[in-house]
Amino acid sequence: MIEAVDLTLVNWSRAQFALTAMYHWIFVPLTLGITIIIAMMESIYVRTGNPEWKRITKFWMTLFGINFAIGVATGIILEFEFGTNWSNYSWFVGDIFGAPLAIEGIFAFFMESTFIAIMFFGWNKVGKKTHLLATWLTAIGANLSALWILVANAWMQRPVGMQFNPETARNEMNNFWEVLFSPVAVDKFLHTTSSGFVLAAIFVIGISAWYLLKKREILLARKSILIASLFGLVSSIYLVLTGDNSTRTIATTQPMKFAAIEGLYNGTQGAGLVAVGVFSTSKTDPNNENLKDFSLKIEIPNVLSYMAFLDWNAFVPGVNDLINGNEQHGIMSAYEKMERGKLAVAKLTDFKNAQKAGNDSLANVLKTEIMDKAFQDNFFKYFGYGYVDDPHKLIPSIPLTFYSFHIMVMLGGYFVLFFILSLVFTLRNQLENRRWYLRLAIWTIPLAYLASQAGWIVAEMGRQPWVIQDLMPTWTAVTRISAGAVQTTFWLFALIFTILLAAEVKIMLRQIKIGPKH
């Protein structure tokens, strides 16, 4: 059974996981996108036979290799943390969550690793076409690897395709396809991988811009910018479309996250989209730290309703509607959900007690009641609320979610314009004359990383307090070890990851200064 634990431990465990995930996500998006850019460059080399393209391909491949080697280390630690820091979570849903992680390990990771070896060491050992195939398979393998991790994450945001087993107190997968093709999983895969494409394109443009500023490797830089601008422009438009679809999915599956994204406290019909907003420090509810007014707000009328439900006048629930309920719009209050959750938890406890006491007939009756569809739909669905003692704990950090979302969206819009600009200057062969643009391109690299991290903050902070939406609050998922131990490993990881990042940046900068081999 799951019981509440010390909040210091929960907070340190969350901090440690967030630290690992954020460091890991520094390395991953570049891998997702740059492998595809490299494959495109090599395709041109194989088609034209022009050795200049081989040189360009090998240069970007070297930078990818540095990034990949260091990124793997953080990813492995992340997977271990499910067992070391989140063992209650792993027990409760390991039968479902473990499957995509295992597929990722066996299928995508092995595929990616195998073909990477051919890609790096097979230039003079296999034929041109075989080598090109290995490069493409590395790119596809890297993205397939991301698919399974994102399917697992999406399942936590919207648990589907499973059945609760009272005997083991675990959820078990009963429909693999529902897990794989959940709208949240598909949205997450499309949006996340395309954000990696955009980041990689910006990376290639930024580094190439540095060469142009230094008047070095002019041909490599021009050709790389042409490819990256095209790929980046198509990917950034796709990123906007998938982001829009993802927002609509969130509005229906995670309404509290959606309200937090827009800082919407009181639901309204024809809700406006806050294009720019600054929170004031005054609180509308003195009992709640999270509820704050805007001191500045530029709102576009009705757009939020349309974005969420494709209806200009649709009702969009706010934080207060989700906590207090709204009968008119059929929204159940958090208090009611907590009552139902407590009933579900009590029923499961009674079942376990009857089992322990050897009262098989009572245990069978209780098991039948728990497995009953009506009970599952009306009570067990709110199981996690049974561990919530204060409904205000159901509200994520609204300022953090709001600002992260708006930073991500604004930067996303900027990236589309940036790629258009890059393409125009490239096609007119004016890149070297636009030194301001070249400097801008270099400074856009950190902005791409900022947008990428902000996206994950929205996804993960916005769904708090749930580790599994509605079924498991974060504080019940944690492993009961000493908070001191987690604190120690947090600082240890922080140190190691920072050293790894510094090493990556140093090696990469050195390699860029050296430039491609002639």
Partner 1 sequence: MYWSSIFWFLTWPVLVIFSHYLVRFMVKKYEAKLEKDVPPE
Does 429 bind partner 1 (CB under 8 A)? Our answer is: yes
- Least distance in angstroms from the C-beta of 131 to partner 1: 17
Candidates 59-67, 94-102, 222-230, 272-280; binding stretch for partner 1 (CB under 8 A): 222-230
Closest to partner 1 by CB, 67 or 194: 194
**Does 230 participate in binding partner 1 (rule CB under 8 A)?**
yes
Q: Is there binding between residue 217 and partner 1 (CB under 8 A)?
A: yes
- State which residue, 44 or 78, has the beta carbon closest to partner 1: 44
Cβ atoms of 454 and 406 closer than 8 Å: no
| Torsion sign across C-alpha atoms 404, 408, 410, 414 | positive
How far apart, in whole angstroms, are the C-alpha atoms of residue 338 and residue 323?
A: 11
Amino acid at 106: I
Using CB under 8 A as the binding rule, whether residue 416 contacts partner 1 is answered as no
Question: Which lies closer to partner 1 via its Cβ, residue 204 or residue 338?
Answer: 204
Write phi, then psi, for 104 (nearest 5 degrees): -55, -45
For partner 1, the closer of residues 89 and 155 by Cβ is 155
Check binding of 43 to partner 1 (CB under 8 A): yes
Is residue 42 at the binding interface for partner 1, with CB under 8 A as the rule? no
Any contact of residue 427 with partner 1 (CB under 8 A)?
Answer: yes
Both tokens assigned to 27: 């390395």
480 counts as binding partner 1 under rule CB under 8 A: no
From the list 15, 18, 22, 44, which residue makes contact with partner 1 (rule: CB under 8 A)?
Answer: 44
434 touches partner 1 by CB under 8 A: no
Report how far residue 266's alpha carbon sits from residue 304's, in angstroms, rounded to the nearest whole number.
Answer: 13
d(CA 434, CA 205): 14
Contact flag: residue 512 with partner 1 (CB under 8 A): no
CA distance 74 to 419: 31
Q: If binding is defined by CB under 8 A, does position 129 make contact with partner 1?
A: no
Which strand (E) or helix (H) includes residue 224?
Answer: helix 218-253
Residue 501's alpha-carbon distances to 9, 210, 388, 490, 505, in angstroms, are 27, 21, 38, 16, 6
Q: Does 421 bind partner 1 (CB under 8 A)?
A: no
- Distance of closest approach, residue 321 Cβ to partner 1, in angstroms: 28
Handedness of CA 111, 117, 120, 122 (dihedral sign): negative
The answer to whether residue 172 forms part of the interface with partner 1 (CB under 8 A) is no
For position 375 contacting partner 1 by CB under 8 A, the verdict is no
Task: Provide the residue count of the chain.
Answer: 518
Residue 81 or 187 with smaller CB distance to partner 1: 187
CB-nearer residue toward partner 1: 216 or 283: 216
Residues 68-127 that bind partner 1 (CB under 8 A): none
Q: Could you check whether the bond before residue 166 is cis, i.e. omega within 30 degrees of 0?
A: no
With tokens 């460059």, the residue in question is 41
Under the binding rule (CB under 8 A), the answer on residue 424 touching partner 1 is no
Site string (301-330) toward partner 1, x via CB under 8 A = ------------------------------
Query: Cβ atoms within 10 A of the Cβ of 430, count?
Result: 11
| Smallest separation (angstroms) from partner 1 to the CB of 231 | 5
Distance separating alpha carbons of residues 303 and 311, to the nearest angstrom:
9
- Residue 154's nearest CA partner among 163, 146, 142 is 146
Site membership for partner 1, residue 40 (CB under 8 A): yes
517 lines the binding site for partner 1 (CB under 8 A): no
Site stretch for partner 1 (CB under 8 A), options 2-10, 325-333, 347-355, 421-429: 421-429
Stretch that binds partner 1, among 75-83, 118-126, 215-223, 405-413 (CB under 8 A): 215-223
Q: How far apart are CA 352 and CA 105, in angstroms?
A: 35
> In this structure, what DSSP letter does residue 469 have?
T
Based on CB atoms, which residue is closest to partner 1, 88 or 235? 235
For residue 276, count other CB atoms closer than 10 A to its CB: 11
Interface with partner 1 includes 193 (CB under 8 A)? yes
Considering only 190-198, 280-288, 322-330, 503-511, which stretch makes contact with partner 1 by CB under 8 A? 190-198
| Nearest partner of 138 among 229, 228, 33, judged by Cα | 33
Q: How many helices (H) and strands (E) does the chain have?
A: 18, 8
Using the minimum distance from each CB to partner 1, give the nearer residue, 44 or 481. 44
Q: How many chain residues interact with partner 1 (CB under 8 A)?
A: 37
Complex with partner 1: residue 216 or 480, whichever CB lies closer = 216
In single-letter form, the type of residue at position 64 comes to F
Binding residue (CB under 8 A) for partner 1 from 5, 36, 63, 271: 36
Q: Decide if residue 440 touches partner 1 (CB under 8 A).
A: no
DSSP sequence for 78-131: HHHHHHHT-HHHHHHHHHHHHHHHHHIIIIIIHHHHHHHHHHHH-TTTS-HHHH
User: Quick check: 436 binds partner 1 (CB under 8 A)?
Assistant: no
Of 45 and 490, CB closest to partner 1: 45
Alpha-carbon distance 388 to 385, whole Å?
Answer: 5
CA distances from 329 to 116, 270, 305, 339 (A): 54, 14, 14, 20
Candidate residues 15, 73, 226, 343; the one interacting with partner 1 per rule CB under 8 A? 226
Residue ranges in contact with partner 1 by CB under 8 A: 36, 39-40, 43-44, 47, 177-178, 181-183, 185-187, 189-190, 193-194, 215-219, 222-223, 226-227, 230-231, 234-235, 238, 245, 426-427, 429, 432
